[in-house]
């Protein structure tokens, strides 16, 4: 048995019936978390994202200004966790971001397909880091995973983590392309042992986005990995999370599977573009279209 199979075997197997039963229990508990304090926490956990073909230096600068202004316009709520943009806009965000406590996140390394030369991926991450990115979201090579080419897949993640030079590395599993819960479990294990700082569900670009089932499996793997190694890895849900009710489901999964220790902005994020307005509307009790 090779080292990858040994690693997979060390993590508990998953099956749809058990996951469904556990999620049903968590769903019942989620009703207890329907509070303003939780919604504020969720707002503060957002990687506020713009990943449009129409993005430009000016539009990203205006997007960043909105985050700056939010501190003055809604000081009672606190700001988002990060601004997330394409890698070539890292410097634009860095130049215009005036508020403290908001990270500069980029998608890089062949996002969203991870299909380009490895040298290009390395250069992209290096340039983004040099331009000011403090967090880098990359996509696991799903083609290599499905072919069982775990060696090249993990080597690439390790190299990109090294290239990020201390920036937080979030590895996107693209769970909608992985087809089975067991594949999600195995992909999680590979990313964890490749020194990912976060596991992230989806790009939201090509395949189905986040799902509660995928989130549960990923969080359980993060928990088991922590118990084996003592290293805490974060979880980021992304792809199709648009309503306060959607966000609350992922909060409940993290709380019940990983515990309160993971309910910090260093270990829990939600990638979204429209969710911030939904949460603001829930908190304000009326429709708000700020971002």
Closest of 61, 56, 133 to residue 102, by C-alpha:
133
Of 47, 103, 124, 137, the catalytic one is 137
Structure-block tokens of residue 42:
């969720």
Rounded Cα gap, residues 97 and 93, in angstroms? 6
124 is catalytic: no
Of 170, 186, 200, 255, the catalytic one is 200
* 109: Cα separation from own chain's centroid: 15
Whether the Cβ atoms of residue 107 and residue 87 lie closer than 8 Å to each other:
yes
Q: Write down the residue that tokens 């299909």 correspond to.
A: 115
- CB-CB neighbours of 39 under 10 Å: 22
Whether the Cβ atoms of residue 259 and residue 235 lie closer than 8 Å to each other:
no
200 is catalytic: yes
Sign of dihedral through CA atoms 247, 250, 256, 259?
negative
- CB-CB neighbours of 66 under 10 Å: 15
Of 236, 246, 249, 255, the catalytic one is 236
Catalytically active residues are: 137, 200, 236
């Amino acid at each position: 048995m090779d080292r990858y199979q040994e690693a997979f075997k060390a993590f508990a197997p998953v099956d749809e019936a058990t996951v469904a039963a556990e999620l049903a229990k968590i769903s019942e508990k989620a009703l207890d978390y329907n509070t303003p304090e939780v919604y504020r926490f969720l707002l503060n956990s957002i990687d506020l994202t713009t990943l449009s073909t129409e993005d430009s230096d000016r539009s990203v600068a205006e997007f960043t200004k909105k985050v700056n202004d939010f501190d003055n316009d809604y000081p009672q709520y606190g700001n988002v966790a990060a601004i997330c943009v394409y890698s070539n806009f890292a410097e634009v965000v860095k130049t215009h971001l005036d508020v403290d406590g908001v990270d500069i996140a980029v998608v890089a390394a062949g996002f969203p397909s991870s299909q380009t030369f490895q040298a290009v991926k390395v250069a992209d991450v290096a340039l983004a880091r040099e331009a000011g990115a403090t967090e880098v979201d990359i996509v696991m090579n799903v083609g290599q995973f499905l072919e069982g080419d775990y060696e090249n897949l993990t080597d690439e993640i390790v190299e990109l983590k090294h290239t990020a030079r201390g920036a937080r590395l979030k590895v996107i599993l693209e769970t909608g392309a992985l087809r089975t819960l067991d594949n999600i479990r195995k992909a999680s294990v590979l990313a964890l042992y490749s020194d990912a700082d976060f596991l992230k569900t989806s790009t939201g670009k090509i395949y189905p986005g986040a799902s509660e089932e995928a989130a549960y499996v990923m969080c359980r793997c993060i928990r088991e990995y922590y118990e084996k190694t003592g290293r805490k890895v974060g979880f980021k849900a992304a792809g199709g999370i648009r309503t306060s009710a959607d966000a609350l489901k992922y909060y409940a999964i993290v709380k019940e599977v990983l515990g309160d220790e993971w309910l910090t902005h260093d270990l829990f994020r939600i990638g979204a573009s429209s969710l911030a307005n939904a949460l603001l509307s829930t908190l304000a009790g009326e429709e708000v279209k700020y971002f």
